[in-house]
Amino acid sequence: MTATQFASQKTQSQRSPSQMVVSLEERLQQCSQKEFTGKLEVSSSQEKWSFFFYAGRLVWATGGKNAYRRFRRLWRQICPHISLSGVKLREEKPIGSKDYHILVVLSKRGYLTRQQGTSLVVATLKEVVFDILQQEYIQALTYEEDPQGGIEQSFTLMVALVRPKQLVPEMTKKWQAWKDAGLAAYSPNQIPSLEAPENLKKATSAKAYKTIEKLVDGQKTLREIGSVMNQEVLRLTQCLLPYIKQGWIALQEGAPDEEMPAFSQTNTSRGQPSPPQKSHPNQNQPLIACIDDSPQVCQQMQKILEAAGYRFVSVQDSVQAITMLLENKPDFVFLDLMMPVANGYEICSQIRRIEVFKDLPVTILTGNDGIVDRMRAKMVGATDFMSKPVDQQKVLDLLATYLNAKAPAKSE
């Protein structure tokens, strides 16, 4: 939606405070005070959201144009060590909502801690409340209570119940800050794309332009870019706003929502989801990963390692680094220090926050072999440090040291 369209829609459909029957905050508080159990549906002219209550407390919220896309993004932030790609659910019908069904199943099977489950619920509730507050500013909303549409108590994560007053005031302040920043006409769910790259290139430094070009790819929403950069979406959007107003960056409505995992028709594994699988066709050949934005370095590493009998995987986009590691579960990582968007320190720090990678050997690659870099690399959990250019013998010696084994035999 453009700023002009937004202003037009707001003028036509927003009611004045005296005409408003009830606000979102008031309606949620009413449900809380009367200890409502069931589903509260909130509808605008184009979107619909659902809040699930148990005894006046919020259980879950879903809906909007990109419900599952939101779920997957928050899942990657809070539970990066658990892949959703292998989830299989036996039950034919979701318990209230399919995304919450996934959360409950994995929690009951011990894949999630209580803290992770609660964090996912709270983060989801906050984003849904924010999105509805923005729609409430544009147009009048309708509310409908359904006492029969709630989530059964046996399927409710009782440790993750939330009173509306615990989060609505906070999100109201965030929405006010968003408006005060001149962003009311823009949604954090919109996708930015480059419209005039040459103009943008002239107006920014080479480093800034390279970062913008990589992130503003026409695929990721503002919230997704903020997640990648570990930056508040408000601050990120404020940084892009001058270029948006110039018409050099356009904001588009989000792509169609992502596909949720299918429900299995077979009664296998008693409904237990398949855990992430480690891909090792031959357990005698360790898998070595190289994260470096230089194609030359990756090719050189591949040549050295495959000649020595190791399996090899590389990624040149630092944004995809953690996803690649989670999918492939390597035995050793070579990690470049200087990369756009996320540098080696940041990625190494992320690696060490993931339980399955706490003992994974990570060697920092850099062209600047200084004492400060070495100390900082150790502080973020790096196992070792290796200077560029890449030296074959040093690479093989490091692997022999940390894998505690000789190089595997070459395959014929």
Which residues lie across from 263 on neighbouring strands? Answer: 89
Count CB atoms within 10 A of the CB of residue 206: 8
Co-location of 327 and 369 in the same domain: yes
- Provide mean pLDDT across the span 140-163: 90
Least confident among 168-177, 193-202, 336-345: 336-345
Residue with tokens 């103009």: 199
Range(s) of the domain holding residue 100: 21-180
Long-range contacts of 402-411 (CB under 8 A, 24+ apart): 402/332, 402/361, 402/363, 403/286, 403/331, 403/332, 403/361, 405/286, 407/308, 407/309, 407/310, 408/284, 408/285, 408/286, 408/308, 408/309, 408/310, 409/284, 409/309, 410/307, 410/308, 410/309, 411/285, 411/309
CB-based contacts of 150, cutoff 8 Å, min separation 6: 37, 38, 39, 52, 53, 54, 59, 96
- Determine which helix (DSSP H) or strand (DSSP E) holds 326, and give its type and residue range: helix 321-328
Burial call 36-67: b when 16+ CB within 10 Å, e when fewer: bbbbbebebeeebbbbbbbebbbbbbbbbbbb
| CA separation, residue 186 to residues 245, 251, 271 (Å) | 11, 8, 41
The Cα–Cα gap between 57 and 29 comes to 10
Co-location of 200 and 320 in the same domain: no
Co-location of 139 and 222 in the same domain: no
281 within domain boundaries: no
Of the chain, the percentage scoring pLDDT greater than 90 comes to 42
Q: Angle 114-138/98-108 helices, nearest 10 degrees? A: 170
Least confident among 155-169, 227-241, 248-262, 344-358: 248-262
The Cα–Cα gap between 393 and 338 comes to 23
The Cα–Cα gap between 227 and 350 comes to 13
pLDDT of amino acid 11 = 44
Least confident among 60-74, 127-141, 279-293: 279-293
Co-location of 174 and 88 in the same domain: yes
The Cα–Cα gap between 185 and 190 comes to 11
Co-location of 377 and 316 in the same domain: yes
Co-location of 149 and 198 in the same domain: no
56 within domain boundaries: yes
Residue-wise DSSP of 171-205: HHHHHHHHHHTT-TT--TTSEEEES-HHHHHHHS-
> What end-to-end distance do the CA atoms of the chain give, in Å?
59
83 within domain boundaries: yes
Q: Residue 357 belongs to a domain with what CATH number? A: 3.40.50.2300
For residues 35 and 4, the model is more confident at: 35
Confidence of residue 129 (pLDDT cuts 50, 70, 90): very high
- Provide mean pLDDT across the span 195-220: 90
Of residues 317, 314, 322, 316, the one with CA closest to residue 348: 322
Co-location of 131 and 217 in the same domain: no
Number of domains in the chain: 3
Look at residue 151 and tell me whether its pLDDT is greater than 80. yes
The Cα–Cα gap between 409 and 14 comes to 71
pLDDT of amino acid 101 = 86
Co-location of 61 and 121 in the same domain: yes
Co-location of 31 and 140 in the same domain: yes
Which of 180, 204, 226 is at the close of a domain?
180
Co-location of 175 and 197 in the same domain: no
Count CB atoms within 10 A of the CB of residue 235: 11
Residue with tokens 């990582």: 333
Of residues 253, 48, 61, 23, the one with CA closest to residue 140: 23
Structure tokens at 405: 């084994």
45 within domain boundaries: yes
Look at residue 17 and tell me whether its pLDDT is greater than 60. no
For residues 48 and 20, the model is more confident at: 48
Look at residue 141 and tell me whether its pLDDT is greater than 90. yes
pLDDT of amino acid 86 = 60
Gyration radius from the chain CA atoms: 24
Residue 235, classed as helix, strand or coil, is helix
Look at residue 395 and tell me whether its pLDDT is greater than 60. yes
Whole-model pTM over 0.85: no
CB 348 within 8 A of CB 364: yes
Co-location of 67 and 97 in the same domain: yes
The Cα–Cα gap between 348 and 361 comes to 10
282 within domain boundaries: no
273 within domain boundaries: no
CA–chain centroid gap for 307, Å, is 37
pLDDT of amino acid 277 = 32
Structure tokens at 350: 């992320």
Co-location of 33 and 125 in the same domain: yes
408 within domain boundaries: no
CB 313 within 8 A of CB 287: yes
2 within domain boundaries: no
Which of 152, 180, 208 is at the close of a domain?
180
CA–chain centroid gap for 38, Å, is 29
